[in-house]
Structure 1
């Protein structure tokens, strides 16, 4: 055989062997059983601007936040690849040059001088949580790395590294590390910060900056020196970076709006990323306000605040309590923005708005604050006093009970419940049928409900459904609860309330409330853009003696408005159809509130039988005593239409001649006005 033929035969044999080895390698790689490529990552709550509000640990207590290369500082990525795997984008998972270099150095020095692990091999180790010491382990990492490169893109492999790389303690991934060590997302890092984050995964336990700052600094500086050598950084930049201190402590992860975060996580347990309507800076400031407020209150009180944009319905801040993580008497784990409580006087503006809308009253209508009874129900003002006749505006500003119950009797409690429903409020009645007491808070609502109700008033009487998650559908159309003139009239009255000491006047329309037994202190108010509700009380519903909404909740309401960082938006002007006149200029039926049955009612100064009461059963011998109040003497007394006594000027008399059995006892005054009761004589 000629020499040329032998050369051709050897070449063919070598090519056959190479092809066989290649095919065998391909089959070996293809048969690789890969570890799970999708692992649990931390659930994240983000605000309207995509800023992190709260993050949860994964099941084993680790902080592992999903990370994508396009959301990481590109300078960090350049430093990482230059330091760990310069040919990352060129090799197929294993870098033959690095392997030969490491083997040669080990043979020459008798020990391992440098590693040959590529980023892909490190990902393989992280996914399988395997060690790095044995050759068998290295071979497994190479096989998995080669298989990963065939199934994933380079960016996908890099994403796995950025998510799983260890950074000390229970920190995994670049985002968890950047938040814990620098308090920020890794979208923009300084060269010193990038260098430290490149160095930490090589020895996360020994290089933790909070425990071993000297080792951490030395490792960081070695990375900086390597970056100068590879021309990633200039010498001046590296020199300046070395002067930057390493972090001395590990920062806490964001934990804003914990109650709302827990609620969303429970509602959608499979979702990893939640976009809320909250505004992170405002949420942070309001949580600080709530905590500062509680420091001056008894240790078993709680506080809740809700802030919303009433134009869009977006909730911008929500504080369920100020002591979420504490196991104390405040029961901070209870979300008091969702708790059903009695709203006290905070429903009164809706009753007045409905009266304005229906033409039953006007802000300048005069209404009588006097003793009144509806069967067994006799409402009283908070202080037990009566003001007599006064304008409706003052009745609402003074939060009097009797005038609003008079209006409620005219409107009907069922209509109030329907208005609440149309406003989007899920009110709960203690009984089956609503009574007049609903106007005074005899119904269960939440703080979020009240904020939504006042958002309706602020929005010209149109319902504004609130939402706290960007995934919640926007309302389809708006429901008109009261007309815009009536809503403005209520707003104008509430804007005239005196603010707490030191607070600006006329900026807010607001109302306070105190529930029966001083169990709840409320304040709800709005300007031209925002509506805020504040609740203070005990989560278990027990009384707080001496607690009033005006004293406790109103100052917090005005302080919360100060935390809004945008310029205040003034309250709107009156709609053109609004009737703005004095009492004397009103149409005659609107000058005084009388009610639909006023024509059948006795005048306020007509005679009233004080004794005997209607339905009394008396034992009569020579006669019975009787007493009349009001009316004009002299009085005439009759029994069953027959005169018993005439010309009596005394209001207390003794009536002789009463016969046994039932009798209709009547008294008539000098003006011909009468009062009558039915009694039984034994």
Structure 2
């Protein structure tokens, strides 16, 4: 019993003796945890940082200066070479993971050497203390300053983890000049990231911070700076210590005996300057800081190709006053800007080279005409073979002229577009409704447009201003089947679905029309077998700007030639000044990518091919001399049987139109062209012989071809049809008609929309999509017709 009582008393004394110690340890632990959990600024944000902007494959385009004019690129500890971390700790602070922020032995040793032995001053600073001096800009040359440094080091250790402190030091240590941190030092000196350093490179960086100004004093070569003897000696001493811990690295001895090249700040890349400027400015405008690493969409190889072609072309054209040009290349699949050349020379003040010409608002000339025709296709104004009138015309008070001052008379919509005829384009725009061209540009996001009344129809001919980037987005819309998407300069910007401004069919047809535009030196109708090009030129009023925009393969390319100060030059004509540069870039791209092809896209739903009379663009009568096929949007594209070519019965004796009834054997049939008077006048002025149809006042209907018009036999007159919702496949309506013996083709229309062609012996089927009253019409190939109404109801 006495033994047990003594044991309990001893245990009580032990608890009383240690409970204060345990309480103190618990209080310390609670303080440490509280300090770590208490909100405090991140060390990452303690100093301003640079941004490394790369191309789409990771090649450096530019390393920006931080706001304090230092190169300081934040690099997480996980992205720094482990060899560099170990070598830095070995060289600077071997007890880093164990001390509380300062090393008493190091401080005493430094004080002894500095103040007692009066040797080279040594501070005895740990990595934490060095970080405190860098962050708080301390003067630590006095004992009081050193005490202040120790106090702040303890504070850093209290509020931050060892890993965070080490990362902050490695990102703020001095590496010579205005280079701070291993991220910037690796890029500047070795042109690689801190994660990819070799052992000699890692040890070289590890010894620089102790004496960066003297150790970097070096011999200069033509391209690189060779590591100075002082720096090489310090690195080699560290390597000997390194081998004691890592004997397997003795294989590096031969490498350490070789000269090590260090690049200089002057050799930092400065690529795609206008694109990088725009990327930075965009982030600043949105008020968002750029991250340390930014992957742009620029392809450095394509960027350099465009720069080289633009530079050589401007030099070649200097004799005619060409001093500047801009160009940009966009991948339509992702809307990534692959190359952007804002001016021919970024550093040339005489031409305002730092201005980004791709963002300048300028008159686009005729480069907007494809979108007028696209809107016309969608609104049923025309088809690609619709014949338009290129004749002197007035649209209210507005009387436009053609660029060449000539009028061609009847031209197809395709010819009018690729030959940039102004009168047809203005006429098409005058027919547009909701949207017209102004509305289209507004929906496309074109900025700084004046009111619609300010432009009127002059907007068609380049009366408003757009930027090259606007044009690139809109021409990419054609390649993307009518969907407008924003351009991308950063890969971390998510792609967006975009918005539809043209139908798939209309954008497909416009692209097909523009692909028929012959490149300079070839003829209309010839198309290259490989990588077809759709393209359009533009010339602004008074020859201020020359444009060419288009696409090939997966790319859209836009080029501009002119002067940033808007000095006019008669040489600034799209086809003469900009198109050659466009095709120089195209050919250079094709040479590097001989298998370049556009992305595979299927034919838009509903798009059809229809045979038309080539001279009129209408359905062919039997008198049409030549026919061909064209694209047709069912229910939208305007189409009817043409009657320009008409037969006339001629009396053999008089040569005049015969009076009916016609006597067999004494008459013959001849075909004449019945062009409207304005087109006939253009033919006459151009010296084009058109046989004038003869006239016989002796009788009515002289020479007119006889024959009965077609008569609809199905559906029956007055009949009603019922749509069965449960059997949609049985809702087809049979269309049939009788016709005269001279008829070869019957053309059927529903509500003036062309639905198909049939021979007199065959019927056509049509399926109504909803209930209502429909107007059916059949026209034979002589222009004679019949029509009737049809009521369609619904049966549940």
CA contact (8 A) 1:79 1:194 kept: yes
CA contact (8 A) 2:51 2:294 kept: no
Structure 1 stretch 50-59 or stretch 373-382: which is displaced more?
50-59
1:81-230 aligned at under 5 Å gives the runs 81-99=89-107, 111=119, 116-130=124-138, 133-208=141-216, 210=218, 213-230=228-245
Aligned alpha-carbon RMSD (Å): 4.1
The residue number in structure 2 matching 1:587 is 619
Q: Partner of 2:351: helix, strand, or coil?
A: coil
The residue number in structure 1 matching 2:297 is 278
CA distance in 1: counterparts of 2:58 and 2:337, whole angstroms? 15
CA distance in 2: counterparts of 1:399 and 1:232, whole angstroms? 77
The verdict on how the C-alpha distance between 1:375 and 1:421 changes in structure 2, with shifts beyond 3 A counting, is closer
1:33-112 aligned at under 5 Å gives the runs 38-43=46-51, 45=53, 52-99=60-107, 111=119
Please point out which of 266, 291, 295 is paired with 2:284.
Answer: 266
Q: Partner of 1:360: helix, strand, or coil?
A: coil
Note if 1:333 corresponds to 2:354.
yes
Q: Partner of 2:500: helix, strand, or coil?
A: coil
Note if 1:540 corresponds to 2:561.
no
Structure 1 stretch 106-115 or stretch 435-444: which is displaced more?
106-115
The verdict on how the C-alpha distance between 1:184 and 1:292 changes in structure 2, with shifts beyond 3 A counting, is farther
CA contact (8 A) 1:166 1:173 kept: yes
Q: CA deviation at 1:302?
A: 3.1
Give unpaired runs (5+ residues) of structure 1.
1-7, 595-600, 609-629, 635-682
Q: CA deviation at 1:156?
A: 1.2
Q: Partner of 2:559: helix, strand, or coil?
A: strand
The residue number in structure 1 matching 2:677 is 603
The residue number in structure 1 matching 2:515 is 495
* TM-score calculated relative to the size of structure 2: 0.65
The verdict on how the C-alpha distance between 1:291 and 1:218 changes in structure 2, with shifts beyond 3 A counting, is farther
The residue number in structure 2 matching 1:234 is 249
Q: CA deviation at 1:504?
A: 8.1
CA distance in 1: counterparts of 2:540 and 2:258, whole angstroms? 61
The verdict on how the C-alpha distance between 1:175 and 1:569 changes in structure 2, with shifts beyond 3 A counting, is same
The residue number in structure 1 matching 2:325 is 303
CA distance in 2: counterparts of 1:236 and 1:253, whole angstroms? 32
Please point out which of 385, 388, 391 is paired with 2:409.
Answer: 388
Q: CA deviation at 1:49?
A: 6.1
The verdict on how the C-alpha distance between 1:105 and 1:40 changes in structure 2, with shifts beyond 3 A counting, is closer
The verdict on how the C-alpha distance between 1:356 and 1:97 changes in structure 2, with shifts beyond 3 A counting, is same
Q: Partner of 1:432: helix, strand, or coil?
A: helix
Q: CA deviation at 1:132?
A: 5.4
1:544-623 aligned at under 5 Å gives the runs 544-560=569-585, 562=588, 568-570=596-598, 572=601, 574-584=603-613, 586-587=618-619, 590=639, 603-604=677-678
Question: 1:506-544 CA deviation, whole Å, 9 max, x = no partner?
Answer: 432221211112211112122353322222211122212
Count of residues in Structure 1 that have an aligned counterpart in Structure 2: 583
CA distance in 2: counterparts of 1:150 and 1:459, whole angstroms? 58
The residue number in structure 1 matching 2:634 is none
The verdict on how the C-alpha distance between 1:339 and 1:36 changes in structure 2, with shifts beyond 3 A counting, is same
* TM-score calculated relative to the size of structure 1: 0.75
Please point out which of 527, 537, 551 is paired with 1:526.
Answer: 551
CA contact (8 A) 1:279 1:317 kept: yes
The verdict on how the C-alpha distance between 1:161 and 1:181 changes in structure 2, with shifts beyond 3 A counting, is same
Q: CA deviation at 1:347?
A: 0.7
CA distance in 2: counterparts of 1:463 and 1:249, whole angstroms? 44
Structure 1 stretch 371-380 or stretch 336-345: which is displaced more?
371-380
CA contact (8 A) 1:320 1:334 kept: yes
1:315-334 aligned at under 5 Å gives the runs 315-326=337-348, 328-334=349-355
Question: 1:168-213 CA deviation, whole Å, 9 max, x = no partner?
Answer: 1111111222222222322211222212211221111112255673
The verdict on how the C-alpha distance between 1:61 and 1:479 changes in structure 2, with shifts beyond 3 A counting, is closer
- The higher-RCO structure (CA 8 Å, 6+ apart) is 1
The verdict on how the C-alpha distance between 1:78 and 1:232 changes in structure 2, with shifts beyond 3 A counting, is farther
Q: Partner of 2:381: helix, strand, or coil?
A: coil
1:236-255 aligned at under 5 Å gives the runs 236-247=251-262, 249-255=264-270
CA distance in 2: counterparts of 1:483 and 1:446, whole angstroms? 24
